[in-house]
A and B are shown apart, each in its own frame.
Chain A
Amino acid sequence: MQLTDLTMLELAAKLAAGAVSSEEATRACLERIRQVDPKVRAFLRVDEDGALAAARASDARRKAGSPASPLDGVPVGLKDLFLTEGVETTAGSRILEGFVPPLDATVVRLLKEAGLPLVGKLNLDEFAMGSSNESSAYFPSHNPWDVTRTPGGSSGGSAAAVAAREVFGALGTDTGGSIRQPAAFTNTVGLKPTYGRVSRYGVIAYASSLDQPGPMTRTVADAAALLQVIARHDAQDSTSAAVEAPDYSADLEAGVRGLKLGVPRDYFTEGMDPEVEASVRAALAEYERLGATLVDVSLPHTKYALATYYLLAPAEASSNLARYDGIRYGLRARDARGLKELYAQTRERGFGPEVKLRIMLGTYALSAGYYDAYYLRAQKVRTLIREDFTKAFQQVDALLSPTSPVPPFKLGEKVDDPLSMYLMDVYTLPCNLAGLPGLAVPCGFTKAGLPVGLQILGRPFDEARLLRIARAFEREHDFFRRAAPLQGA
């Protein structure tokens, strides 16, 4: 067994025991990246010097008997949407090529303070807009379980890197499923925390009212440990919740006996891949066997979630992306004549097609004369969707559903069909609209060996229970021990 096959907590235990150093672990990651990343293409940038320096500092702390946290010394990766001081951050876009932030995102600061070496910046769909990583301005990432397929998106690079064992864990962001869907596609655990649980400060904004950073790991316990580091109130983010984080690892092994788990019938509809449905149904049966009660529930406004999301998210994005105008940083069309031409040419050259499409959708939805018909109505439907969940959670402790309606699809398969691509998010985005926590945990494989993920949704700030529910299943199946076939490639 290689060092990189360890989970975060397994490595942490070895670090604590002095069996291995953080520098060794970090070098193992760097070596693994050299071996497999040419196939996976998860990394936009590897910060070898920074990671090794942080690892050596961690080892020194350890030697002095004062590790900064339980995860001190465990190398992780970051979606390239997080600002990293002194390390180029592009959001997967040409318009930010060469942009070196003057500050760290709050979560990056927290990771550094906890002593985790940051190995590099991971690929993503441009400005987190996409479900396959194919809208990255640089290159698509590949699914370690089948390199002809997508690892999902937008945190596809993070998922691929964790699945390919290039890093022990990673941070992603989830606006409509961008952590959970790639986790489901790569046999990893992805947790989208409650909106406001994790600071958005220093996270390049896509849709501010929906974005939320979260951990992407190989195991549920790792997700709990990583969440523990980043779940803090942050005065620099006015939407950050002033809610104390519990000990996410405390009740992990408590099981599901006596819990009521809702099965939203509106999530088991046409268009779901039969193999995905079979895996998820099997997982549901497993939960019953473990002592949970399954309850049929209805979330009647689910059918409007996709349309609602694709009005609200682009509307916010059209505004959030207005700052990329060629005036102060990033790309500038140097040959432009006059101000309007400077704006037009910079944005024409700097933004990719998916970003342009969403900016135009959002601009249209906010325009005078259309605001009431689109944006305002979408906000009202958002309230109805939220109320659906509130009602459901009066009956049940959590909801179970598939994460994605289909297993990982082929690269190029849906590129020219945006609507079909948007349908990939149909099970994940209601959770963002409602601001709830959602978790994806591996629940099986198709006959072709492609991963399938189970989605668990919970009440606001109920991450601990989601982790406990996920762990109950993981304990029975151990899918995380299975390595992607890339291994040894």
Chain B
Amino acid sequence: MPVSDFQPVIGLEVHAQLLTKSKIFCGCSTAFGAEPNRNTCPVCLGMPGVLPVLNQRVVEFAVRTGLALECTVKKTSIWSRKNYFYPDLPKGYQITQYDQPICEHGRLVIDTPQGEKVIRVRRIHMEEDAGKNVHDAGGGQSLVDLNRAGVPLLEIVSEPDLRDADEAVEYLKALRDVLVYLGVNDGNLEEGSFRCDANVSVMPKGSSTYGQRCELKNLNSFRFVKQAVEYEIARQVDVIEGGGKVDQETRLWDVNKGVTRSMRSKEDAHDYRYFPEPDLPPLHVSDAAIDAAAQALPELPRAKLTRFISQYGLPEYDARILTAERPLADFFEACAAHYPDAKKVSNWFLGELMRLLKEEGTPLSALRFTPVQLAELLGAVDKGTVSANAGKDVLGEMFRTGKAPADIIAEKGLAQVSDTGAIEAVVDEILAKNAGEAEKYRAGKTQVFGFFVGQVMRAMKGKGNPALVNELLKKKLGGA
């Protein structure tokens, strides 16, 4: 049977690091990049006798995420211990949620070539991260950095509703957008604050029984997710076609070779000996807390996209880019509130502003000018105070200095010249200098008109009002 006779089935487990200032069970900092073992204390080092105390902010973030993903937020959930030995796990167990997680039964809508598709979210639970082992650091040693130990994570587990690698990537992107919108995660795959494991299986098309699944661990880019899932689907189809059986195992994506390879099989799978964490009482979330979180829930990316299209009459392409990040959308809306033509605002955003942000590597949060000032600039262009081209220079200056557009126009002398007399003088001068070309025009070779416009504008250093320049040139060339 060729690949096309098989139906892949994919479920994703996403680990999202929460944007809390301190760890989940102690007061240590969660800042990335500190000197090894600097952000540690007896609690996150797992010293004898010490006990965990829950950071309530983590619960708030979990509830917020659960509501955004349309989950049931459970009023009582419990903590469990997941026991295993590894040097980066100081206590010999991870505190996590097991059979009674805080959120269950949610959904996330994604776009597919066939239209919208609902991906069910099985559960969301809170847990602590482990530390990091650095192997062969020199002299064949292994070193342990526990800065990350105890950093709060949400694990978001989807149902196996995804049917190909593209859907998997689409789901991940949509999920990341939601988390970033909620302010609970920075969406940074490179630093590992948004990581993904994929469960992949294949079954003959039309079958209702899932095939044996393999788990692909720690996929840290959208590209790797796509490549690894596609590779794994093909591999499993090959195994079955060759008359073999897919073994349940955990596999790693080898970035260099572009293949998945076995990490551990079911035979040596861990027995984590889960049991309720006796050092933490059951977690209770009040109705009031859930209501408050629901009230405070921001508009989510998908809703915002729909609204941008309907409210501002934007093309979907524009709306998608503008709603991709919440600060961008907010900035756009603030600007559009002070300027009547939303599409024009969008054009400036998608063109000039995005280019500047990208070129300078500046985050939107660090912008020096305000949305109102951008609206002022657009107004100035409309009124002819400054030309569209010069307006771009003004924006560049606003971007670098944060000065008001009017001040920049004045300081740099960028104000557009609309004085008919001044323009007429220049037009006369140019026509006199290029009498031969003028003759050609008058003889019917109207293509040279552009040449004259260029000459006049150059002579006026770009500040001539284009409409007036055109008008006067036409008059002089035609009327002489």
Residues of chain A at the chain B interface (Cβ within 8 Å): 82-83, 89, 91, 96, 99, 101-103, 105, 200-205, 207-209, 235-239, 315-316, 318-319, 321-325, 327-329, 339, 343, 363, 366-368, 371, 375
Contacts and interface: CB of A to CB of B under 8 A. Distances in A.
A238 B47 contact: no
A238 B49 contact: no
B134 interface: no
B281 A363 contact: no
A203 B83 CA distance: 21
B53 interface: yes
Interface in B3-51: 42, 45-51
B475 interface: no
A207 B275 CA distance: 13
B51 A238 contact: yes
Contact of A101 (B49, B142, B144, B271): B49
Given A239-B279, A319-B275, A200 B83 contact: no
Given A322-B91, A343-B85, 16 more contacts: A102-B47, A103-B47, A105-B49, A204-B48, A238-B51, A239-B51, A319-B92, A319-B275, A322-B85, A322-B92, A322-B93, A323-B90, A327-B90, A339-B87, A366-B83, A371-B273
Q: DSSP majority for the A interface?
A: loop
A325 B93 CA distance: 12
Nearest to A99: B48
A239 B276 CA distance: 14
B275 A236 contact: no
Nearest to B280: A238
Contacts of B363: none
B284 to A, nearest CB: 13
Given A319-B83, A323-B91, A366 B48 contact: no
Q: DSSP majority for the B interface?
A: loop
B81 interface: yes
B91 A205 contact: no
B277 to A, nearest CB: 8
Given A102-B42, A319-B275, A201 B49 contact: yes
B123 to A, nearest CB: 20
A69 B101 CA distance: 46
B246 interface: no
B444 interface: no
Interface in B425-461: none
B278 to A, nearest CB: 4
B258 interface: no
Contact of B52 (A202, A238, A375): A238
Given A238-B281, A319-B93, A323-B92, A204 B85 contact: no
A329 B45 CA distance: 10
B91 to A, nearest CB: 5
Taking each of B42, B48, B51, B81, which has the highest tally of chain A beta carbons within 10 Å of its own beta carbon?
Answer: B48
Interface in B48-92: 48-54, 81, 83, 85, 87, 90-92
29 contacts: A82-B49, A83-B48, A91-B48, A99-B48, A101-B48, A101-B49, A102-B47, A202-B50, A208-B279, A209-B278, A238-B54, A239-B51, A239-B278, A239-B280, A316-B278, A318-B273, A319-B81, A322-B83, A322-B85, A323-B48, A328-B45, A339-B87, A339-B142, A363-B273, A366-B83, A366-B273, A366-B274, A371-B274, A371-B275
Contact of A366 (B87, B142, B275): B275
A323 B46 contact: yes
Given A237-B51, A325-B85, A319 B144 contact: no
A454 to B, nearest CB: 30
Contact of B275 (A89, A315, A343): A315
A256 to B, nearest CB: 35
Contacts of A102: 42, 47
A329 B90 CA distance: 11
A322 B81 CA distance: 12
Contacts of B85: 322, 325, 343
A367 B273 CA distance: 5
Contacts of A368: 271, 273
B92 A325 contact: yes
Contacts of B142: 339
Contacts of B83: 318-319, 322, 366
Contacts of A205: 48-49, 279
Interface in B89-116: 90-93
